[in-house]
A and B are shown apart, each in its own frame.
Chain A
Amino acid sequence: MYETFEHTADLGLLVEAADLNSLFAEAGRGLLSILVEDVDAVLPRHEVTIEVSGTERDYLLFDWLSELLYRYETEQLLFSQFDVTTGPNGLTAIARGESLDAERHEPTHEVKAITYHDFVVEPTANGWQAKLIVDI
Chain B
Amino acid sequence: MNNPGFSGPLERVNDCCWRIPSSYKTGMRVDGLIYASDELIEHVRSDQAAEQVANVAFLPGIQVASLAMPDIHWGYGFTIGGVCATDPNEGGVISPGGVGYDINCGVRLVRSKLFHKDVGPHIETLIEEMFRNVPCGVGRAGKYHFNHKELRQLMQEGPTWLKQRGLATDADIEHTESRGRLDGARPDFVSERALTRGMKQCGTLGSGNHFMEVQVVDEVFDEEAAEVMGLEQDMVCVMIHSGSRGLGYQVCDDALKTLRGVPEKYGIDLPDRQLACAPVASPEGEQYVGAMRAAANYAWCNRQLLMWQAREVFETVFGQSWQELGMSLIYDVAHNIAKFEEHAIDGGRKKVWVHRKGATRAFPPGHPEVPEQYRQIGQPVMIPGDMGRASWVLVGQEGSMQQTFGTTCHGAGRQMSRTKAVRNAKGRRIDQELRARGVIARSRSWKGLAEEQPDAYKDVNLVVDVVHRAGLSKKVARMRPIGVIKG
Q: Does B45 sit at the interface, judged by CB under 8 A?
A: no
Contact of B420 among A6, A70, A73 (CB under 8 A): A6
Q: In the assembled complex, which residues on chain A have CB atoms less than 8 Å from the CB atom of B414?
A: 8-9
Q: Does A43 sit at the interface, judged by CB under 8 A?
A: no
* A33 vs B274: C-alpha distance when bound (angstroms): 24
Instruction: Mark contacts of B338-359 with chain A using CB atoms, 8 A cut-off: 1 yes-contact digit, 0 otherwise.
Output: 0000000000000000000000
* A109 vs B138: C-alpha distance when bound (angstroms): 7
Asked whether B445 lies within 8 Å of A107 as measured between CB atoms, the reply is yes
Q: Does B47 sit at the interface, judged by CB under 8 A?
A: yes
Instruction: Mark contacts of B1-42 with chain A using CB atoms, 8 A cut-off: 1 yes-contact digit, 0 otherwise.
Output: 101000000000000000000000000000000000000000
Asked whether A102 lies within 8 Å of B139 as measured between CB atoms, the reply is yes
Interface size on B, residues (CB 8 A): 46
Contact of A108 among B196, B197, B274, B448 (CB under 8 A): B448
Contact of B77 among A7, A70, A100, A115 (CB under 8 A): A115
- Closest A residue to B48 by CB, please name it: A8
Contact of A109 among B100, B208, B417 (CB under 8 A): B208
- Closest A residue to B78 by CB, please name it: A117
Asked whether A107 lies within 8 Å of B444 as measured between CB atoms, the reply is yes
Asked whether A117 lies within 8 Å of B138 as measured between CB atoms, the reply is no
Asked whether A8 lies within 8 Å of B73 as measured between CB atoms, the reply is yes
Given A5-B419, A6-B419, A100-B139, A73-B208 contact (CB < 8 Å) = no
Binds A, one of B151-159, B246-254, B321-329: B246-254
Q: In the assembled complex, which residues on chain B have CB atoms less than 8 Å from the CB atom of A117?
A: 75-77, 272-274
8 Å CB interface, B447-473 against A = 447-448
Given A108-B445, A117-B274, A14-B1 contact (CB < 8 Å) = yes
Asked whether B206 lies within 8 Å of A12 as measured between CB atoms, the reply is no
Instruction: Mark contacts of B180-219 with chain A using CB atoms, 8 A cut-off: 1 yes-contact digit, 0 otherwise.
Output: 0000000000000100110000000011100000000000
Asked whether A133 lies within 8 Å of B197 as measured between CB atoms, the reply is no
* A28 vs B415: C-alpha distance when bound (angstroms): 29
Asked whether A113 lies within 8 Å of B252 as measured between CB atoms, the reply is yes
Asked whether A109 lies within 8 Å of B193 as measured between CB atoms, the reply is no
CB distance from B455 to the nearest CB of A (A): 14
Asked whether B208 lies within 8 Å of A136 as measured between CB atoms, the reply is yes
Q: In the assembled complex, which residues on chain A have CB atoms less than 8 Å from the CB atom of B102?
A: 112
Q: In the assembled complex, which residues on chain A have CB atoms less than 8 Å from the CB atom of B273?
A: 116-117, 119
Residue among B1, B193, B276 with max Cβ neighbours from chain A (10 Å) = B1
Q: In the assembled complex, which residues on chain B have CB atoms less than 8 Å from the CB atom of A85?
A: none
Asked whether B274 lies within 8 Å of A116 as measured between CB atoms, the reply is yes
Q: In the assembled complex, which residues on chain B have CB atoms less than 8 Å from the CB atom of A110?
A: 137-138, 206-208, 487
Given A14-B1, A113-B253, A119-B273, A9-B73 contact (CB < 8 Å) = yes
Q: In the assembled complex, which residues on chain B have CB atoms less than 8 Å from the CB atom of A118?
A: 76, 272
Instruction: Mark contacts of A98-112 with chain B using CB atoms, 8 A cut-off: 1 yes-contact digit, 0 otherwise.
Output: 001010001111101
Q: In the assembled complex, which residues on chain B have CB atoms less than 8 Å from the CB atom of A122?
A: none
* A76 vs B447: C-alpha distance when bound (angstroms): 20
Contact of A8 among B100, B253, B257, B417 (CB under 8 A): B417
CB distance from B336 to the nearest CB of A (A): 11
Given A59-B260, A116-B273, A10-B73 contact (CB < 8 Å) = no
* A30 vs B91: C-alpha distance when bound (angstroms): 41
Of all A-B residue pairs in the complex, the 7 with the closest CB atoms, nearest first, are: A117-B76, A110-B207, A5-B1, A6-B417, A107-B138, A117-B274, A116-B273
A-B contact pairs, 18 of them (CB 8 A): A5-B1, A6-B1, A7-B418, A8-B414, A9-B74, A10-B76, A11-B419, A76-B139, A100-B139, A107-B444, A107-B445, A108-B447, A109-B138, A109-B448, A110-B487, A112-B208, A118-B272, A136-B207
* Interface residue ranges, A against B (CB under 8 Å): 4-12, 14, 35, 37, 59, 63, 66, 70, 73-74, 76, 100, 102, 106-110, 112-113, 115-119, 133, 135-136
* Interface residue ranges, B against A (CB under 8 Å): 1, 3, 47, 49, 73-77, 80, 100-102, 137-139, 193, 196-197, 206-208, 246, 249-250, 252-253, 256-257, 260, 272-274, 276, 414-420, 444-445, 447-448, 487
